[in-house]
């Protein structure tokens, strides 16, 4: 019988150490491995089952994490990277080449948005950003030569959702791969592969590591889709994960399912408080009935995660007060940690310098975010304490 997600989170990829019986995994920090027979010096010398040779090519502690991540996403294979951006950029550089076309969400993680607009065109890859919540817009953007559709759901920072089944059908009809940045959802909420995605990207720095102490990223999918990423790109671009970070993230991942339940429970309480507060102009949370895509959230997310974005009149000035006066919630970037984190994201700055939105796309962004949003990563503290912290500064 297939194991449940909590069991997989604790055990997948791990076993007691065969030499000592140690129940917790060892950290293998070694960069190199003693071989009992001569081997090649190029990644191309190794086919199929290969021994550990050099940690950039493969490391047992990193591999343990990869097995766990694949299990959590219901996938065949996973590749760990030194950061979420290393995962994203390596995937794109490995799978796209000059003359190819990429369709991507026009609102997503800022680093991804900037990379596809600035760097990919230098390599002759054409990029069409599109509102991926609008299925007809995705259909219109896809064309012969489209190699990949890359969406982020829920999307940073406006928590807009993309219907994965519909986008997968459009991508596949065009002979393109569907890649999904599922960092905000986590595999507890959504397994994109079950909705037809070919590749799943995570910043492990966020919920999966979960404790704000290790950068990491992953690309997850079938062995066939991942093979060129591992061999042609990971080894040569070199953005690999440290075994120490793999060990930390592996430990964090063990509690992912129970942490996500707590994040969701608290986020629902905080979102309800914010929605009722007279100074709050709007709250975006997929778990609220008022979310414009709540029905899709119910269909596609079995946990609404812990990200809440909200609007306040005079947001820029309030950001200064939040940074100085909040006592429990840290005014800081990043998300998905046990500690609550909040950050002001100004709409004009994002639309002008990151997303380059104009016309209708700008109006759609503003319909979600107004002048800007406070992106609140609701942590694992008591909901009442978080609400008190916010209420004191809001009043």
Ligand X SMILES: *Cc1c(COP(=O)(O)O)cnc(C)c1O
Interface with ligand X, residue 183, by CB under 6 A: yes
Interface with ligand X, residue 303, by CB under 6 A: no
By beta-carbon proximity to ligand X, the closer residue of 130 and 387 is: 130
Query: Closest distance between ligand X and the C-beta of residue 16, in Å?
Result: 31
CB 216 within 8 A of CB 84: yes
Hey, is 303 helix, strand or coil?
coil
Q: Residue from 5, 25, 212, 217 that binds ligand X (CB under 6 A)?
A: 217
Interface with ligand X, residue 306, by CB under 6 A: no
CB 111 within 8 A of CB 235: no
Q: With CB under 6 A as the contact rule, which of the stretches 98-106, 131-139, 179-187, 370-378 interacts with ligand X? A: 179-187
By beta-carbon proximity to ligand X, the closer residue of 83 and 347 is: 83
Query: Closest distance between ligand X and the C-beta of residue 122, in Å?
Result: 20
Query: Closest distance between ligand X and the C-beta of residue 219, in Å?
Result: 12
The dihedral sign for the CA sequence 150, 9, 61, 339: positive
Residue nearest to ligand X (CB): 84
By beta-carbon proximity to ligand X, the closer residue of 77 and 181 is: 181
Between residue 92 and residue 111, which ones bind ligand X under the rule CB under 6 A?
109, 111
Q: How many residues bind ligand X (CB under 6 A)?
A: 16
Hey, is 374 helix, strand or coil?
strand
Where do the H-state alpha helices sit in the chain?
Answer: 5-11, 60-73, 84-95, 110-118, 135-141, 164-173, 186-189, 223-228, 235-237, 243-254, 256-276, 294-300, 315-325, 347-349, 359-369, 383-394
Q: Residue from 65, 69, 80, 85 that binds ligand X (CB under 6 A)?
A: 85
What are phi and psi for residue 160, nearest 5 degrees? -85, 140
Q: Quick one: which of 85, 96, 152, 91 has its CA closest to 122?
A: 96
By beta-carbon proximity to ligand X, the closer residue of 53 and 91 is: 91
CB 248 within 8 A of CB 211: yes
Which residues here bind ligand X, judged by CB under 6 A?
83-85, 109, 111-112, 152, 156, 181, 183-184, 203, 205-206, 215, 217
């Amino acid at each position: 019988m297939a194991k449940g997600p909590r069991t997989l989170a604790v055990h997948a990829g791990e076993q007691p150490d065969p030499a000592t019986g140690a129940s917790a995994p060892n950290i293998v920090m070694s960069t190199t491995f003693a071989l009992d027979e001569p081997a090649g010096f190029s990644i191309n010398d190794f086919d199929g089952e290969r021994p550990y040779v050099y940690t950039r090519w493969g490391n047992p502690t990193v591999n343990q994490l990869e097995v766990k991540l694949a299990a959590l996403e219901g996938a065949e294979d996973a590749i760990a990277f030194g950061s979420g951006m290393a995962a994203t950029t390596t995937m794109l550089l490995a799978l796209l080449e000059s003359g190819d076309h990429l369709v991507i969400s026009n609102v997503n993680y800022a680093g991804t948005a900037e990379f596809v607009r600035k760097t990919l065109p230098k390599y002759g890859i054409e990029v069409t950003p599109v509102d991926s919540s609008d299925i007809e817009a995705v259909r219109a953007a896809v064309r012969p030569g489209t190699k990949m559709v890359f969406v982020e759901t829920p999307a940073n920072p406006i928590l807009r959702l993309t219907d994965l089944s519909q986008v997968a059908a459009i991508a596949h009809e065009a002979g393109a791969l569907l890649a999904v940045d599922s960092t905000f959802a986590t595999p507890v909420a959504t397994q994109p592969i079950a909705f037809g995605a070919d590749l799943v990207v995570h910043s492990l720095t966020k919920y999966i590591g979960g404790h704000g102490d290790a950068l990491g990223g992953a690309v997850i999918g079938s062995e066939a889709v991942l093979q060129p990423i591992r061999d042609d790109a990971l080894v040569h671009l070199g953005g690999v994960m440290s075994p120490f970070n793999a060990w930390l993230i592996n430990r964090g991942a063990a509690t992912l399912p129970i942490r996500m339940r707590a994040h969701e429970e608290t986020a629902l309480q905080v979102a309800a408080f914010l929605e009722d507060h007279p100074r709050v102009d709007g709250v975006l949370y997929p778990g609220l009935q008022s979310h414009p895509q709540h029905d899709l959230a119910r269909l596609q997310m079995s946990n609404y995660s812990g990200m809440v974005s909200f609007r306040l009149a005079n947001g820029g000035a309030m950001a200064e007060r939040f940074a100085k006066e909040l006592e429990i919630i840290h005014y800081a970037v990043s998300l998905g940690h046990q500690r609550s984190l909040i950050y002001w994201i100004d709409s004009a700055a994002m639309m002008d310098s990151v997303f380059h939105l104009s016309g209708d796309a700008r109006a759609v962004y503003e319909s979600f975010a107004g002048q800007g949003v406070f992106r609140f990563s609701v942590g694992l503290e008591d909901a009442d304490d978080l609400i008190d912290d916010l209420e004191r500064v809001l009043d």
